Amino acid sequence: MEELNQTTVVEREPYDVIVIGAGAAGMMAAGTAARSGKRVLLLEKMEKSGRKVRITGKGRCNVTNARPAEEFLEHVRTNREFLKQAFAEFNNRATIRFFERMGVKLEIERGERVFPQSGKAWDIANALLEYCVESGVKILYETRVTEIMTLGGRVFGVRYRNKRGFERKEECSQVILCTGGVSYPATGSTGDGYSFAADLGHTIEPLRPSLTPLKTSHPQMKFLHGLLLKNIRATLYIDGEVAREEFGEIGFSERGIEGAVALRVSRDAVDALIDGKSVKLVVDMKPALDEETLQERIKREIASMEPTEFFGELMRRLMPKPLVMPLARELDIHSKNYISKTTDVEITRLIKTLKGLTFPITDYAPFEYAVTTAGGVSCEEVNPYTMESLKVRGLYFAGEVLDLDANTGGYNLQIAFSTGRLAGLLKQ
C-alpha cells in the first residue's frame, strides 16, 4: 500500500445529498437517502437531533394516527390533495411498521392515536437517529446552514456556520430542506427555511400559529386557570355563523383556552381573527342532555336538598368545584342564597349557562405556544410526486416548512414522515 507522507492531501468523496434540519422530516429523509446508497450529510443547528420530537404529545409523542387513509386525510387542513402522493408512498401503517422494526413498541389509544408503549417521546427521536446512524448518515450538530447555493437554476451546495463559528461551504448535487416551521422556536425551528426558499424564488404562504391557545375577554377567565373540562361540546362561531363543532376536553391557563378541542378550532379562529371577523366559542357542559332533560335533573337535585342548603351546593352537583364561584358571578346569583329561594328565572339562567357558556375570542397565543405553523413554502411550486422544487433543480422539501398542517392526533408528525420519506427517495 502506498504510504502517505505529511504533505499528502486525502480527498474526501463529496456528499451527494445535504439534508438541512434533523427533525422528524429531516431524519426520515436522510436515513432514506443513505439507505439507497447516497452519501448523506445531515446538518442540525441545535446540539442534538429531534428537539421538537422529544417534547411532542406532552413528552409521550403521538407518533401517528391509525385511522383509514380517507379519514386520516380529512384531518389534514391544508393542501390535502398535494399530500396524497407522499401519504401513498409512506402512510400511517408504514410509520407503525417502521418504528416497530426499529424496536419501538407502539399502542393505539382513544381516537386511533398511536403512542410508544414506553410513554416516552425520546424513544421515537432516538429510533429516528439510530436509523440515520445505521444507514451511514454523517451528522454535524451546532451547525447552522446560512445559504443554499445554486448555479443556473440547480443546487450545488450549502454554506453553513460550524460549531466553532467558522463559515464553511459544502458541495452536493441535492439538498433536502427540512427546517420545520416557527412554532416553539426554542427547539430550533426558527423559520430559516422560509428565507432560503424565498431567496430562491419560492412563494411563502402567510405564516400563522395553528393549534394554539385562544385568548378571551371573558371577565371570569383569570379565575379559571388550571381548570380542565371533559366531555364538553364546543362550537366556534365566526361572524355569528357556526364554523366548527368539536367534542372533547378544554383547558384554561394563563396562555388562554387550550386542550384538544380549543386547539382543533384554533386553526379557523386564528384565520377569522386575522380577517377581522368576530369570533366566539360556546361551551356546552352538558352535551348529552337537552334543556328540558337538564331542567328535570336540576329540579330533582333541588328536591333532594335541604331548603337551607345554598345555591352554590346545587352548582357543585352540576359542575367541577373551581367553576362554581366564577359561574355564580357570571349568573349574578349569590352562591350563598338559600336553595329554597331559587326562582324559575334563575334556573333558566343556570341552564342557559351550562348549555352555552360563551367566550368572546379576541386574540390567540403567539408561535411560542403554537403546536404547528400554518402557511409556508407554497405546495403549488413543489412536485407532489417527488417533493422536488419546481423552481430549483435538486432542491427538495419535507415537513412543516411546507404549507401543510393538520389537526392534533398524530397527523402532523405523519406529514413529516410521509414527505420526508418521499423526499429522501430523491426521485427526479
Ligand X SMILES: Cc1cc2nc3c(=O)[nH]c(=O)nc-3n(C[C@H](O)[C@H](O)[C@H](O)COP(=O)(O)OP(=O)(O)OC[C@H]3O[C@@H](n4cnc5c(N)ncnc54)[C@H](O)[C@@H]3O)c2cc1C
Indicate the residue among 32 and 179 with the shorter CB distance to ligand X.
179
3-class SS at 58?
Answer: helix
| C-alpha span between 384 and 396 (Å, rounded) | 11
State in angstroms the smallest separation of the CB of 188 from ligand X.
2
- Would you say 362 and 216 are in contact if contact means Cβ atoms under 8 Å apart? yes
Indicate the residue among 339 and 413 with the shorter CB distance to ligand X.
413
Indicate the residue among 57 and 312 with the shorter CB distance to ligand X.
57
| C-alpha span between 39 and 174 (Å, rounded) | 11
Angle, nearest 10°, between helix axes 344-355 and 311-318? Answer: 30
State in angstroms the smallest separation of the CB of 419 from ligand X.
8
Residue 238: all three cell numbers together: 365566526
| C-alpha span between 330 and 87 (Å, rounded) | 48
Instruction: Count CB-CB contacts under 10 A for residue 219.
Output: 10
State in angstroms the smallest separation of the CB of 279 from ligand X.
23
Indicate the residue among 252 and 411 with the shorter CB distance to ligand X.
411
Alpha carbon of residue 339 to chain centroid: 46
State in angstroms the smallest separation of the CB of 173 from ligand X.
19
Indicate the residue among 182 and 238 with the shorter CB distance to ligand X.
182
| C-alpha span between 51 and 202 (Å, rounded) | 27
| C-alpha span between 115 and 270 (Å, rounded) | 28
Indicate the residue among 60 and 349 with the shorter CB distance to ligand X.
60
Cβ contacts of residue 198 below 8 Å, gap of 6+? 204
- Would you say 267 and 243 are in contact if contact means Cβ atoms under 8 Å apart? no
State in angstroms the smallest separation of the CB of 108 from ligand X.
14
State in angstroms the smallest separation of the CB of 129 from ligand X.
11
Contact residues for ligand X (CB under 6 A)? 20-26, 43-46, 51-53, 55-57, 61-62, 144-145, 178-180, 183-184, 188-189, 192, 371-372, 399-400, 410-413, 416
